[in-house]
Structure 1
Amino acid sequence: MNRNVKKALDLATMGSSILWPSLEGVTDLMKFSIPKMKCGGCADSVTAALRGLDATAPIEIDLEKKEVEFGGNVPPQDRVLSALAAAGFPAANVQ
């Protein structure tokens, strides 16, 4: 098991973040707002859509803010946005 892989979900408050693996030290990040992401199941669907693009890229999901950060050797932004929309979670880039 990869020791860099972390998973955190605060079920009592619907969570602040879900990490797969850690974004610590990652310099190439994309951050997206996903208004329709409301629960852990939504976060799982978003994660699966991103994993379809890069199976090992770090992902951090903030359910409270309805945002996701995707890092590493990520594909072009339009491919990421298309994958999220196809999964039912249209997104917008966050600066």
Structure 2
Amino acid sequence: MELRIEGMSCGGCAKSVTKAIQSVDSAARVEANPAERSVRVETSAAQAAILRVLEQAGYPATVS
């Protein structure tokens, strides 16, 4: 899934986003690009669960 995260602007943000996603699915593959504020996620978790955990972490996301 492709996500847009407006609040992700640096490497530290990208690490926080990755950690949040992997708290739902520890095997998730996450490719974060802070410059483009985009994240590509390969996961078996439900999209709603990923969006919810990002919201809770302070990084609300939209599906792009």
Structure 2 unmatched runs, 5+: none
Q: CA RMSD in A?
A: 0.9
Structure 2 CA distance for aligned equivalents of residues 84 and 45 of structure 1: 9
Aligned to 1:53: 24
Alpha-carbon shift at residue 64 of structure 1 (Å): 1.3
Q: Runs of 5+ in structure 1 lacking a partner?
A: 1-29
CA displacement at 1:77 relative to structure 2 = 1.1
Larger radius of gyration: 1
- 1:84 and 2:54 aligned: yes
Give the TM-score normalised by structure 1: 0.64
In the alignment, structure 1 residue 71 sits paired with structure 2 residue 52: no
**Larger fraction in helix:** 2
Q: For the Cα contact (< 8 Å) 2:10–2:35, is it kept in 1?
A: no
Residues 13-62 of structure 1 deviation map (CA, whole Å, 9 limit, x = unaligned): xxxxxxxxxxxxxxxxx110000001111011101100101112111011
Q: Number of aligned pairs?
A: 64
